[in-house]
Chains A and B, each alone.
Chain A
Amino acid sequence: MGRRQDTFDRRNRWLWVALAAPGAIWLLVLFVAPFYVMLSVAGGGVNEFYQTVVPVWNPLHWSSFNFTGVWHDIVGTGAFIGSPALRTLLYTAVAVAVSLAIAYPVAYFVSRYAGRRKALFLILLIAPFWVSYMMRMLAWIDLLQQGGIFNSALSSVGLPGNTDWLGGKSVTVVLGLVYGYIPYLILVLYAGLDRIDQRLLEASRDLGLNKWRTFWQVTVPLSKPTLIAGAFITALPMLGDYFTNQLLSGAPGTTMIGNAIEGQLDSPGETGQGAVLALMLLVVLLIPMIYYAVSTARSSSEFA
């Protein structure tokens, strides 16, 4: 059958190319080309008089002008990139760890024990997925503001109820990141855990392992690819986040690398440095992106 299928497909090659073409062109012009423009802007210069970007299209003529600028921002006297970069890593690491600690038990429970109520649990877990990020942040701004419900609740149980949670607290920003990205993580973990063959768990029990050892020696190893994919799917948007901290804090003490990129991009004469920063972030993220892309490609073709 494979052979016949091949000839069937080959005879119609022009048709398949034509069908794929609009999407392919869209991706090349609006996904691949933009990153080349980013390179050209990063390797380009600045018009000294107007402080506007001068992109250089020929890779042979790319200059290190903007790269040196960014280098001075990292190590020079007026360096300001270091702390947002470190903070981004720290926030993301803590937020991913907290998200996994919350999401894994929830996904595990729903995939294994929800039984006939699985659809109900799924609806409740999917609900936040359909609520916009802005709405979910706005909800916390309402709750955490001074004189807001959270502070009132604290003072009603005798704790200090006048904390300015939105005034630049790292804990608020990290919780915002967790709250913002955890629905995706739970769905990914659920999908992965649901795929684990229950018979393997029964076999493990029949062979004499108790439930904890079954969990650690069968379930956890089997869910490892899902855990890694889930950690990446949560970490990638967090590393490029610049609005959660603006919404929940707005203070310079909680800025992340995304804010530095956005700030440079918008200041006259420094757009090129913004492009350099964005490229640096892209390079750092390339390995997790490739891992995630490969695992996505594999899971979407595993029926073949």
Chain B
Amino acid sequence: MASTVDKPVAARSGVDKLAWRGRPRGNPWRRPWLMEGFTWLYIAWSIVPIAIAVLFSFNKGASQATWQGFSTKWYVGSQVTSVLHNPSLHQAVIQTLVLAVLTTLICVPIGVGFAIGIDRWRSRTSTGLNFVMIFSFVVPELLLAVALFLLVTQALTFIRLGTSAEVAGLVVWNISWPAIIVRARLITIGNTYEEAAADLGASRIGAIRRVLLPLLMPAIFASAVLVFASTVDDFVIVEQLSSTAATQPMSVLIYANVHGGLSGPALNALATIMLVISVAAALIGYAGYRWMTRGEGTSKRGTEALTGITGI
């Protein structure tokens, strides 16, 4: 998946220029208006509903369909149903952040270690472990969540349902991000730099710490952003492994209240907060990735940073 990142794209700049000139009919590089229109329609379809939902989180009234004026009452104003004052709503925000931070802190280091270890170990065991990791990436989330639920309730009961089970599950569900992304980068880097460091007298661990890790930093950073954002947005695992209302993050609370329960725009406000957290992570990821790869000077760095922080 992480393979577009370092690929040289075929020399296409000449083609782009041609595409803009009036060419005779039948020119294969003619600008495809129909496809471009379709693409814009798709983009509108994918973004406008979300923009409307964000807009209605600022509605003065309780409707999600009729605009009644701007207000922030669903965030801070209302004493009963605003995110700030309603205990279950703000507890959900805190729980989401706690889960995202804990998961990122555990998942990224062990995932990076796993990627380096598997890449260099090269044995039948490591190939097998690599496949287990990739399976954790492709298994439907519901099946993993059900299996984890049974593990926690029937076998390892010391991992209680609630925050500890949620973190344990989120780490295993997300470990493939750092493992796959860092491994792809490791393969492009190769062994040469580390060997050179060893030849110059660095110890093995010193070579990893002072040569390999800095080279891996953009990949590590991108995967940390992905793990954080995907934990914020996670629903299935946390729904199966949460216990009381106090351990329900935002996604579960929204799911539980969509049909009845807490009234309309407050849920939109909660979802908007989730959106802001994810988008902030994405922006930090994009800026950070560009900054970390600034020495690698290619004109494609913008695109590369985008694909880097999405893991494709």
Residues of A within 8 A of B (CB): 4-5, 8-9, 12-13, 15-24, 26-35, 37-38, 40-41, 53, 55, 102, 105-106, 108-110, 113, 115-116, 118-119, 121-143, 145, 147-149, 152, 179, 182-183, 187-188, 190-191, 194-195, 197-199, 201, 205, 210-211, 214, 232, 236-237, 239-243, 246-247, 250, 258, 261-262, 265, 271, 274-275, 278, 281-282, 285, 289, 292-293, 296-297, 299-304
Judged by DSSP, the binding face of A is helix
CA distance A197 to B8 in the complex (A): 10
Across-interface contacts of A122 in B (CB, < 8 A)? 303, 306-307
Across-interface contacts of A13 in B (CB, < 8 A)? 121
- Is B9 on the interface with A (CB-CB < 8 A)? yes
Among residues of B, the one whose C-beta sits closest to the C-beta of A44 is B154
Instruction: Count contacts on B: residues with CB < 8 A to the other chain.
Output: 117
If the complex has contacts A113-B36, A300-B184, A304-B187, are A26 and B312 also in contact, measured as CB distance less than 8 A?
no
- Is B72 on the interface with A (CB-CB < 8 A)? no
Q: Can you pick out 21 interface pairs between chain A and chain B where the beta carbons lie within 8 Å of each other?
A: A8-B191, A16-B120, A19-B114, A34-B151, A35-B147, A38-B146, A109-B39, A113-B31, A116-B16, A130-B278, A130-B279, A133-B251, A135-B271, A135-B274, A142-B52, A149-B52, A188-B1, A191-B312, A195-B4, A199-B10, A275-B146
CB distance from B56 to the nearest CB of A (A): 6
Determine if A4 and B195 form an interchain contact, defined as CB atoms under 8 angstroms apart: yes
CB distance from B117 to the nearest CB of A (A): 3
CB distance from A294 to the nearest CB of B (A): 8
Determine if A41 and B150 form an interchain contact, defined as CB atoms under 8 angstroms apart: yes
Across-interface contacts of B121 in A (CB, < 8 A)? 9, 13, 16-17, 20
Across-interface contacts of B148 in A (CB, < 8 A)? 30, 34
Q: Contact check: which of A31, A118, A124, A126 meets B144 at CB < 8 Å?
A: A31
Across-interface contacts of B155 in A (CB, < 8 A)? 33, 37, 55
Determine if B1 and A300 form an interchain contact, defined as CB atoms under 8 angstroms apart: yes
- Is B131 on the interface with A (CB-CB < 8 A)? yes
Top 8 A-B pairs, shortest CB-CB distance: A20-B117, A23-B114, A240-B140, A34-B147, A19-B117, A132-B233, A240-B142, A115-B16
Other 9 A-B pairs with CB < 8 A, given A33-B151, A296-B180: A4-B195, A33-B156, A38-B147, A55-B154, A105-B38, A106-B42, A265-B146, A285-B140, A303-B184
CB distance from A113 to the nearest CB of B (A): 6
CA distance A121 to B205 in the complex (A): 42
Determine if B198 and A135 form an interchain contact, defined as CB atoms under 8 angstroms apart: no
Across-interface contacts of B16 in A (CB, < 8 A)? 115-116
CA distance A16 to B118 in the complex (A): 7
Judged by DSSP, the binding face of B is helix
Across-interface contacts of B312 in A (CB, < 8 A)? 187-188, 190-191
Across-interface contacts of A148 in B (CB, < 8 A)? 64-65
CA distance A98 to B271 in the complex (A): 27
Residues of B within 8 A of A (CB): 1-4, 6-7, 9-12, 15-16, 19, 26, 28, 31-32, 35-36, 38-39, 42-43, 45-47, 49-50, 52-53, 56, 64-66, 109-111, 113-114, 116-118, 120-122, 126, 129-144, 146-151, 154-156, 168-169, 171-172, 175, 179-180, 183-184, 187-188, 191, 194-195, 198, 204-205, 229, 232-233, 235-236, 239, 250-251, 254-255, 258-259, 264, 267-268, 271-272, 274-275, 278-279, 281-282, 302-303, 306-307, 310, 312
